[in-house]
C-alpha cells in the first residue's frame, strides 16, 4: 500500500477501490433515481418516464406515480424490517436473560424495567425483577406476530395523535403484519393507488418507530444500561499503534457488550502484552459504535463512510460486524492487510469473511475467541498509517437524561425546555440524523447544516452517523455552545450541555418520538406532536432505514427534509402527495433540499410557522 489514507476516502488500492471511487465510476441510473423503475414482475423491468407517451406506463399498465409510490413503500418496508428484526433479536436476548439462559448478560437498569412494565400495564408490586422482565419481554415480543388490535407502544403517543391514526386507519396491528402486507400490496397487480400505498407505508413505518425500533431502544437500555452523558473520543486517530485494535461495526450491540467486558479480562490483557501490545483498544464504526460509546465511552473510529479507511490504517487486528451498513468490500480491503473480518450474525455472511455465529447461550465464548484471535493477530501487522488526531465528544442523552438534566434532580421534566422554546431562546428542535453518502460532499452537508441551525437558536438532536459526523466537527461538546445563537447558548451554558445532543443509534430515533411526546405532555406547546416547533432532517441519507424513519416522523406529524435526491422525484404526482397532500392527513410532510443552507431555511421556516400558529413570540435572532 503506497497510498496515504485520508479521512473521507478516495484512495486507490491494488485489489480494488474504495467507496468514493466506486461511486464516481457508477453514476446512478436516472430512472431508478427518480423511483420509476419497476421490477416487480418479469414482464419488466419497466423504466417508466412520465410525459413520454411510449414509456408513460409499464407493460402491465402501471403508472409512474404508482411505481414510485410502490418503490418508496418497499423502502419503508425494508427499513422497518431491518430495525424491527434488530428489536426482535434484543427481545429474544432479553427473555433469555430474564430466564437466566444467557451467561454474561444481566438486567442493568431495573428502575427502567419497572417503569416500562407500568407503562405496559404489567403489575410490578411484589414481583421479582426477572418475573416482571419475562412479562415485559413476552408482551413486546408478541407485538411482532400480533394480527389484530394495536402494538403496545402506540399508547405512548399523545391522545390526539392516536385518535388521528385511528381515523386514518393506520394504527399498526402487528409489526410483521404491516411489513408483509406492504410487500403483498406492492407486488404485481395488487394496490395501484399511490395514496392508499403511501398510507399503508405510514402504518408500516409507525410499526418501526413506535414498534420495532422503540422495543430495541427500551430493552437495550434495561439490558445494558440507560445512557448518561459521558465524554469520549472520535475519529480514526482513536486507533492505537501500540495496542491491539478491535473494531465493532453494525447495529446490534448484543455481542459488542460482551466484547467490552472480555477486552478488560486480566488473561486477555496478559496475552496482549505477551504478543507485544500494551493493551486492547476497542473502537466502533456506525451504530454499534454509538451503542457502546453511549454506555461505555468506547471511542468511535468513524462513520459508515470510514469503515474501509479504518482498515487502510493497517492497524486493525479484527473488525467484528453484525448487521446493516456493513460494506461487502471489507474482506477485499482486509486482504491487503493482516485484518480478520468476523461476521457474527447468521443473517449476514460476507464472502471472504470468517463467520463466528453469535448465540445468546454461547456469546461469552464467542467474544473470548474473537478477542483472543485479534490479539494473536497483532504480531502479523505490517506498516501502520493512522491519521493523527481525534476530538472529544459528549454522548449519551437519553430521554431520561434530558428529563433529569433540563428539569433538575428534584423537579425532573421538560418544563425548562418548553419554557425556553416558548420564550424564544430556543427556536425549536430539529433531529439531524442519518447516514453519510458519497454522492454528496460527505460530512460537509451535515456539518454546515448543523452549524447554521445552532447559530439560529435551534437545539439539534442527533443520532446515527449524523451524530458521529457532528462529533468530528467538534459540535458535540459543551464548548460548541460558543457557536450557537444567544438564546440557545444561554440555555446550553446554564445546563452544561452541547447545542447538539447525541441521542444514540438509528433505532434510537425512537427516543426523539418519546422526547416530542414529553414536550407535548409538559404543556404549553400544543396538544399534538404536529404543533410542536420540531422537524427532522437526513441531509446525506442513503439507507432504506432512513426512508422508514422519515416516514414515521411524517406520520407522527413532523416535517422531514431529505437531502441527496428524493426517491420519488420521477413522479410529480407521488411527490406532490408526499410533499403537500399528506400534511392535511398527518400534519407532517416531506421536503427536499440539496444544499445545507437551503435545508436550514426550510427547517427554520417550518419552526417559525409552528411558533406563529401557537401564538409564541418570535425566536431570538
Q: Which residues bind ligand MSK (CB under 6 A)?
A: 251, 286-287, 304, 325, 434-435, 464-465, 505-506, 543, 545
389 DSSP β-pair partners: none
Measured on CA atoms in the order 233, 296, 429, 414, is the torsion positive or negative?
A: negative
Q: Report the partner that residue 545 touches, choosing among ligand MSK, ligand SF4, none (CB closer than 5 to 8 A by kind).
A: ligand MSK
Only segment of 32-40, 312-320, 449-457, 564-572 that touches ligand SF4 (CB under 6 A):
32-40
Residue 141 · residue 88 · CB < 8 Å: yes
Q: Does 45 bind ligand SF4 (CB under 6 A)?
A: yes
- Three-state DSSP class for 561? strand
The interface partner of residue 43, options being ligand MSK, ligand SF4, none and the CB cut-off 5 to 8 Å by kind, is ligand SF4
Closest separation in Å from C-beta 299 to ligand MSK: 17
- Of 48 and 327, nearer to ligand MSK (C-beta) is 327
The set of cell numbers assigned to 578 is 408526499
Residue 325 binds which entry of ligand MSK, ligand SF4, none, CB below 5-8 Å type-dependent = ligand MSK
Chosen residue from 41, 180, 336, 598 binding ligand SF4 by CB under 6 A: 41
Q: Pick from 5, 23, 31, 38 the residue near ligand SF4 by CB under 6 A.
A: 38
Task: Phi first, then psi: give them for residue 611, nearest 5 degrees.
Answer: -60, -45
Within residues 487-506, the interface with ligand SF4 by CB under 6 A covers none
Instruction: Select 40 or 260, whichever has its Cβ closest to ligand SF4.
Output: 40
Q: Is 59 in the site for ligand SF4 (CB under 6 A)?
A: yes
Tell whether residue 60 is a contact of ligand SF4 (CB under 6 A): yes
Residue 62 binds which one of ligand SF4, ligand MSK, none, with CB within 5 to 8 A depending on kind?
A: ligand SF4
Nearer of residues 43 and 142 to ligand SF4, judged by Cβ: 43
User: How deeply is 35 buried, as exposed, middle or buried, from its count of CB atoms within 10 A (0-12, 13-18, 19+)?
Assistant: buried
Pick from ligand MSK, ligand SF4, none: which does 227 bind, CB < 5 to 8 A by kind? none
Lookup result for grid cell 437545539: 459
Rounded to 5 degrees, what angle do the CA atoms 561, 564, 565 make?
85
Give the separation between CA 152 and CA 89, rounded to whole angstroms. Answer: 18
Q: Between the CA of residue 346 and those of 13, 91, 306, 358, 586, what are the distances in Å?
A: 30, 17, 24, 8, 38
Terminal-residue alpha carbon distance, the chain: 51
Q: Quick one: what does residue 123 bind among ligand MSK, ligand SF4, none, with the CB cut-off 5 to 8 Å set by partner type?
A: none
- Stretch near ligand SF4 under the rule CB under 6 A, chosen from 10-18, 36-44, 276-284, 417-425: 36-44
Residues 220/90, Cβ–Cβ less than 8 Å:
yes
Cell reading at 90: 434484543
Choice from 10, 16, 44, 297 touching ligand SF4 (CB under 6 A): 44
* Shortest Cβ 38–ligand SF4 spacing (Å): 3
With CB under 5 to 8 Å by kind, the binding choice for 88 among ligand SF4, ligand MSK, none is none
Considering beta carbons, is residue 287 or 501 the nearer one to ligand MSK?
287
Q: Establish if 62 lies at the interface with ligand SF4 (CB under 6 A).
A: yes
The CA–CA distances, whole Å, from 518 to 93, 121, 157, 406, 416 equal 29, 19, 9, 12, 12
List CB contacts of 548: < 8 A, sequence separation 6 or more: 75, 76, 77, 78, 79, 80, 82, 83, 204, 205, 208, 209
304 binds, among ligand SF4, ligand MSK, none (CB under 5 to 8 A by kind): ligand MSK
User: Which DSSP string corresponds to 264-327?
Assistant: T-HHHHHHHHHTT-S-EEEEEEHHHHHHHHHHH---EEE-GGGHHHHHHTS--SEEEE-SSS--
Q: Which stretch binds ligand SF4 (CB under 6 A): 7-15, 54-62, 391-399, 609-617?
A: 54-62
Contacting positions for ligand SF4 (CB under 6 A): 38-41, 43-46, 58-60, 62, 67, 188
Amino acid at each position: 500500500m503506497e497510498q496515504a489514507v485520508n479521512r473521507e476516502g478516495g484512495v486507490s488500492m491494488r485489489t480494488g477501490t474504495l467507496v468514493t471511487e466506486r461511486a464516481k465510476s457508477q453514476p446512478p441510473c436516472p430512472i431508478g433515481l427518480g423511483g420509476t423503475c419497476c421490477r416487480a414482475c418479469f414482464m419488466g423491468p419497466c423504466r417508466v418516464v412520465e410525459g413520454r407517451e411510449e414509456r408513460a406506463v409499464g407493460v402491465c399498465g402501471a403508472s409512474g406515480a404508482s411505481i414510485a409510490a410502490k418503490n418508496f413503500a418497499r423502502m419503508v418496508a425494508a427499513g422497518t424490517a431491518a430495525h424491527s428484526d434488530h428489536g426482535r433479536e434484543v427481545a429474544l436476548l432479553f427473555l433469555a436473560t430474564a430466564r437466566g439462559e444467557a451467561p454474561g448478560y444481566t438486567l442493568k437498569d431495573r428502575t427502567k424495567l419497572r417503569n416500562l412494565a407500568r407503562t405496559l400495564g404489567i403489575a410490578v408490586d411484589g414481583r421479582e425483577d426477572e418475573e416482571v422482565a419475562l412479562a415485559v419481554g413476552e408482551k413486546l415480543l408478541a407485538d411482532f406476530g400480533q394480527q389484530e388490535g394495536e402494538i403496545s407502544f402506540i399508547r405512548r403517543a399523545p391522545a390526539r395523535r392516536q385518535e388521528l391514526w385511528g381515523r386514518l386507519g393506520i394504527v399498526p396491528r402487528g409489526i410483521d403484519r404491516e411489513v408483509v402486507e406492504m410487500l403483498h400490496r406492492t407486488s404485481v397487480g395488487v394496490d395501484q393507488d399511490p395514496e392508499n400505498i403511501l398510507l399503508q407505508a405510514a402504518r408500516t413505518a409507525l410499526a418501526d418507530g413506535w414498534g420495532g425500533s422503540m422495543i430495541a431502544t427500551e430493552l437495550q437500555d434495561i439490558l445494558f444500561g440507560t445512557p448518561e452523558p459521558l465524554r469520549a473520543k472520535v475519529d480514526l486517530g482513536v486507533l492505537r499503534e501500540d495496542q491491539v485494535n478491535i473494531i465493532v461495526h453494525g447495529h446490534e450491540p448484543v455481542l459488542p457488550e460482551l466484547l467490552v467486558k472480555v477486552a478488560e479480562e486480566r488473561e486477555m490483557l496478559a496475552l496482549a502484552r505477551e504478543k507485544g501490545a500494551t493493551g486492547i483498544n476497542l473502537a466502533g464504526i456506525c451504530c454499534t459504535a454509538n451503542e457502546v460509546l453511549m454506555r461505555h465511552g468506547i471511542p468511535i473510529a468513524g462513520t459508515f463512510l470510514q469503515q474501509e479507511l479504518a482498515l487502510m490504517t493497517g492497524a486493525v487486528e479484527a473488525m467484528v460486524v453484525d448487521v446493516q451498513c456493513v460494506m461487502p468490500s471489507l474482506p477485499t480491503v482486509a486482504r491487503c492487510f493482516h485484518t480478520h473480518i468476523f461476521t457474527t450474525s447468521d443473517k449476514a455472511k460476507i464472502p471472504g469473511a470468517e463467520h463466528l455465529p453469535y448465540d445468546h447461550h454461547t456469546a461469552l465464548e464467542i467474544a473470548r475467541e474473537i478477542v483472543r484471535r485479534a490479539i494473536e493477530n497483532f504480531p502479523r501487522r505490517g506498516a501502520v498509517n493512522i491519521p493523527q488526531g481525534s476530538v472529544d465528544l459528549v454522548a449519551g442523552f437519553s430521554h431520561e437524561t434530558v428529563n433529569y438534566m433540563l428539569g433538575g434532580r428534584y423537579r425532573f421534566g421538560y418544563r425548562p425546555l418548553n419554557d425556553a422554546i416558548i420564550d424564544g431562546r430556543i427556536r425549536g428542535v430539529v433531529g439531524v440524523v442519518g447516514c453519510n453518502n458519497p454522492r454528496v460532499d460527505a460530512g460537509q452537508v451535515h456539518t454546515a447544516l448543523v452549524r447554521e441551525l445552532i447559530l439560529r437558536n435551534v437545539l439539534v438532536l442527533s443520532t446515527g452517523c449524523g451524530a458521529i459526523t457532528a462529533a468530528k466537527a467538534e459540535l458535540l461538546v459543551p464548548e460548541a455552545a460558543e457557536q450557537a445563537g444567544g438564546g440557545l447558548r444561554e440555555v446550553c451554558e446554564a445546563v452544561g450541555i452541547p447545542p447538539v445532543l447525541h441521542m444514540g443509534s438509528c433505532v434510537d430515533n425512537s427516543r426523539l418520538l418519546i422526547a416530542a411526546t414529553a414536550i407535548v405532555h409538559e404543556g404549553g406547546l400544543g396538544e399534538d406532536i404536529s404543533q410542536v416547533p420540531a422537524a427532522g432532517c437526513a441531509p446525506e441519507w442513503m439507507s432504506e432505514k432512513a426512508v422508514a424513519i422519515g416516514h414515521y416522523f411524517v406520520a407522527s406529524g413532523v416535517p422531514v427534509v431529505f437531502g441527496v435526491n428524493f426517491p420519488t422525484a420521477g413522479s410529480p404526482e407521488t411527490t406532490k402527495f408526499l410533499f403537500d397532500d399528506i400534511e392535511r392527513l398527518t400534519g407532517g410532510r416531506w421536503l427536499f433540499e440539496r444544499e445545507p443552507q437551503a435545508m436550514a431555511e426550510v427547517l427554520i421556516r417550518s419552526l417559525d410557522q409552528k411558533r406563529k400558529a401557537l401564538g409564541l413570540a418570535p425566536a431570538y435572532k
